[in-house]
Chain A
């Protein structure tokens, strides 16, 4: 219980500190793919549609597999708030409806940014978001237009 409260609290504090140094659009979470992935940019509406299960391909017909992080991680709430404009509760309600009506399944959820990085490196179709601290040379940061 206490842990649940502390984790977002710390991330909020960290986020606030980071936002003083970095551009907030880039600061808290990065959308990344493998360095070998065949694309380097994505429109924000494409990104939103991919993560809400509305489509699985980007403009030129390439399959993209989105990777999620477990509920409660700082990166996750930051990602959804920033890139879809919806709160985690809204996202949950969205997927409840999608699953119940048989219209889709949520992206596979990995435990943390590190797990996402490991998966991205081995799968060039995968798309994920990570804490900037985990960025390394095997990944490419997508430009979101």
Chain B
């Protein structure tokens, strides 16, 4: 009972603390994911803005140079001064009002016709962000008008400057180490159309993102990441509208990937809890078993002691040879009987028996035969009296019988005769028949004495007289007779 309560409490502690730890771990991971989304977003935003500014600066530089040098060999001149972004990635073209490429860092484009950007119809300056598709790659194009007002004498008038760059450039900072395989870096236009998005190794574009819906779902979408479900992936997401450019960046971390680590840890915690519980239960079972065994052992020792005490007591009050009550027990019984009968006015008799010729048998046939004879005699005597009477051995060949509830000699004589006849049956001792007899002296309470000692003494005297009278007979105490 105690053990099961202890076990229950300990299991409660184990599983409770595991649950607490697991929860803590999960919250910590979520918090960590939100923090890293914030950090990645800050870095990504800074890089995109810087890249866009560089592009815009290059556009303005080309325009300025073109407007001031008369549109001749502008790009070469700038390139020689290393003022243009590397041609390896950036393709810069000057286009005339008809859409014809007149100068380009990629000579393949010369003479091609480009379509004007949508904003070309409006007055004044603009920065148009468009898309172009070459055979190898998807490009983002950034366009600024040449602003004819500033160079009114030029015949090509209002052409424009275009910088085309591989769209991958804007997501090239994707690192699987921090973003995983399901993370997201994306550049999204104001129309919600994805300009370029990278997730793992795959780069996509043209999808629609409901940025407005996402942003309105939280109060502070700029710095506090929120969960989004998009194309089947749950992500901690941040959206930032870029300052001065018609673009937004979207950064996402896959919730599943971030929690995968925690999941492992959680599994480990639960496993550990299970092992601990099993161990605990095992220990408690063993302890319980030990304690039960200890208790049983103690019980056994106690039982043995009681039994031993009973045996000692029995030995103290019984004769070891015949197992009859001994002198001490008898005197106790007689004293009790004296008290009881004295109070109730009843009477009882003491019969003093002595085997005739016992000494002779003992000496001639040996002690073992003598002992056997005593045991047999005890059995016969016990068999000859009533259940309520007491047969005791005083020692040697002397026996005392306490006959309860007898008051007159007429009642005693038949019993005495029964005793005499029971002893007259021959005994088989050491292979030969032996004839034994007994002499009986009787004293009566209260007639022959009022205490145990006098009753014993009178019975003894009566027995002696019976012996004198030729053995094998009964003699009543003379006081009673008189």
Contacts and interface: CB of A to CB of B under 8 A. Distances in A.
Interface of A: 1, 3-4, 68, 70-71, 92-93, 95-97, 99-102, 105-106, 108-109
Interface stretch (B163-171, B248-256, B331-339): B163-171
B425 to A, nearest CB: 127
B47 A102 contact: yes
B86 A106 contact: yes
A92 B170 contact: no
Contact of A95 (B47, B88, B170): B88
A71 B90 CA distance: 12
A97 B89 CA distance: 11
Given A93-B172, A96-B166, A102 B89 contact: no
A99 B86 contact: yes
Nearest to B174: A97
Nearest to A98: B172
Interface in B30-53: 47, 50-51
A76 B169 CA distance: 21
Contacts of B51: 99-100
Contacts of A101: 47, 172-173
Given A96-B166, A97-B172, A100-B51, A71 B87 contact: yes
B89 A99 contact: yes
A106 B86 CA distance: 7
Nearest to B54: A99
13 contacts: A1-B108, A93-B168, A95-B89, A96-B168, A97-B173, A99-B89, A100-B172, A100-B173, A101-B172, A101-B173, A102-B47, A109-B86, A109-B88
Given A96-B166, A102-B50, A105-B86, 10 more contacts: A4-B108, A93-B172, A96-B89, A99-B169, A100-B170, A100-B172, A100-B173, A101-B47, A109-B86, A109-B87
B177 interface: no
A94 B85 CA distance: 16
A66 B87 CA distance: 16
A134 B320 CA distance: 136
Interface string B227-256: 000000000000000000000000000000
A71 B88 contact: yes
A40 to B, nearest CB: 29
A93 B172 CA distance: 7
Given A4-B108, A108-B82, A96 B169 contact: yes
Contacts of B47: 100-102
Contacts of A100: 47, 51, 169-170, 172-173
Given A4-B108, A100-B173, A95 B86 contact: yes
Contacts of A1: 108
Among B51, B88, B108, B169, find the residue whose CB has the most chain A CB atoms closer than 10 A. B88
B75 to A, nearest CB: 13
A109 B89 CA distance: 12
Interface string B163-197: 00010111011000000000000000000000000
B106 to A, nearest CB: 9
A81 to B, nearest CB: 16
A70 B88 CA distance: 7
B87 A70 contact: yes
Contacts of A109: 86-88
A102 B47 CA distance: 8
A130 to B, nearest CB: 19
Contacts of A93: 168, 172
B89 A92 contact: yes
Nearest to B43: A101
Contacts of A99: 51, 85-86, 89, 169
Contacts of A4: 108
A108 B85 CA distance: 10
A108 B51 CA distance: 19
A30 to B, nearest CB: 22
Nearest to B105: A70
Contacts of B173: 97, 100-101
Tell which of A92, A96, A105, A108 has the most Cβ of chain B within 10 Å: A96
Given A96-B172, A101-B173, A106 B88 contact: yes
Nearest to B170: A100
Contacts of A106: 86, 88
A42 B87 CA distance: 28
Nearest to A111: B107
A68 B169 CA distance: 20
A23 to B, nearest CB: 30
Contacts of A70: 87
Nearest to A92: B88
Contacts of A108: 82
Contacts of B85: 99
Contacts of B170: 100
Nearest to A94: B172
Interface string B74-87: 00000000100111
A1 B136 CA distance: 12
B185 to A, nearest CB: 11
Contacts of B169: 96, 99-100
A100 B87 CA distance: 14
Contacts of A102: 47, 50
